[in-house]
Amino acid sequence: MISTNDVRPGMTLNLDNGLFQIVDYQHVKPGKGRAFVRMKLKNLASGAVVDRTFRADEPVDQAIIDRRDFQYLYRDDLAYYFMDQETFAQLALTADQVGDVSKFLRESDTVRLGIYADTAVTVDLPASVDLEVTEAEPAVKGDRVSGATKPVTVETGLLVQVPLFVEQGDRIKVDTRSGDYMTRVT
């Protein structure tokens, strides 16, 4: 148990209705009355962000999340399979647990899983990944308007808007937070 005065963004709390990660917090000391702490909390199960207010110095249960590197192995109809880099134990996660991260996963990629009570609660990717363009329409000569883009499909099946000069077979860097094109990789 820790005090609400000691919390910081990024910490995970085990509250009565699930695990929540602190996105933002604000300690408020009004002129009259007692101080309180206003927090923006992200539910690790659903991804929903909620606002919650606690009394200052109220005890809350801190959840210690063990973050370890896992290698993504493969996917079948039931789950996504990952292997612990240290113990070589395999872990199966459902599509709901993996969420939007699946749009960027390739076999043999390394991801960081957050484990709490022997259950994976988060799947974290690097800020960007390099992916190969598998489908791209050729750019039409003379179609060189500044800032023009076209849709391409990358090896994971994700559709990305890229500049006209990107062709099939090119490798591009994609931002995993937004899914946007960053640059072409040589």
pLDDT tens by residue, 2-24: 888 888 888 889 888 888 988 99
Question: Does the fold of domain 66-124 match that of domain 2-60?
Answer: no
Looking at every residue in the chain, the average pLDDT score rounds to 87
For residue 85, the SS3 value is coil
pTM: 0.73
pLDDT band at 145 (very low <50, low <70, confident <90, very high): low
Lowest-confidence segment of 110-124, 138-152, 155-169, 171-185 by average pLDDT: 138-152
C-alpha to C-alpha distance for 173 and 179, rounded to whole angstroms: 10
What six digits make up the tokens of 118?
A: 């022997």
Does the structure show a pLDDT above 80 at 167? yes
Does the structure show a pLDDT above 90 at 81? yes
Select from 8, 97, 15, 4 the least CA-distant residue to 56.
Answer: 4
- What number does CATH give the domain 128-185? 2.40.50.140
Per the CB < 8 A criterion, the answer to whether 135 and 172 are in contact is no
pLDDT tens by residue, 125-137: 888 999 999 998 8
Instruction: For residue 6, give the DSSP letter.
Output: G
pLDDT band at 71 (very low <50, low <70, confident <90, very high): very high
HSE toward the beta carbon, residue 56, CA cutoff 13 A? 9
pLDDT tens by residue, 102-125: 888 888 889 998 888 888 888 888
**Domain definitions of the chain by residue range:** 2-60, 66-124, 128-185
**Is residue 87 exposed (0-12), middle (13-18) or buried (19+ Cβ within 10 Å)?**
exposed
The mean pLDDT of 157-184, rounded to a whole number, is 89
Determine the pLDDT at residue 3. Answer: 87
- What number does CATH give the domain 66-124? 2.40.50.140
- What number does CATH give the domain 2-60? 2.30.30.30
Neighbouring residues of 19: CB distance < 8 A, sequence distance ≥ 6: 12, 13, 43, 44, 45, 63, 116, 121
